[in-house]
Amino acid sequence: MEFVGLIPAAGSGKRLYPFSRAIPKELYPLMGKPSIEHGIDCLKIGGIKKVFVIVGHQKGAIMDYLGNGEPYDTNISYLYQMKPKGLGHAILQAKDWIKKPFITLLGDSFIEPKHKIMDLIKKHEEKKPIATLLVQKIEDPTGYGIVKFDSDGKITKLVEKPDPEEAKEYLNDEGGYFSICGVYVFDPKIFEYIEKTGPGKRGEIWITDSIADAVKNGETAYAVQLEGDYMDIGKWKTVFEAKRKMMEKKSFEEFVAEREAMVKKWD
Q: Is 114 helix (H, G, I), strand (E, B) or coil?
A: helix
Domain count, the chain: 1
Percent of the chain with pLDDT over 90: 47
pLDDT, tens digit, for every residue of 138-168? Answer: 888 887 889 999 989 999 999 988 888 888 8
Residue 232 near residue 30, CB atoms below 8 Å? no
Question: Among 6-20, 63-77, 79-93, 182-196, which stretch is predicted with the lowest mean pLDDT?
Answer: 6-20
Q: Give the burial string for 14-40 (b: 16+ CB within 10 Å, else e).
A: ebbeeebeebbbbbbebbebbbbbbbb
- Predicted model pTM: 0.89
Residue 196 sits in a domain whose CATH number is 3.90.550.10
d(CA 176, CA 10): 31
Residue-level pLDDT at 258: 72
Residues forming beta bridges with residue 29, ordered by sequence position: 34
Which domain, by its residues, includes 236? 4-266
Cβ neighbour number for residue 192 with a 10 Å cutoff: 15
Nearest to 134 by CA among 187, 184, 206: 184
Helix (H) / strand (E) element for 28: namely none
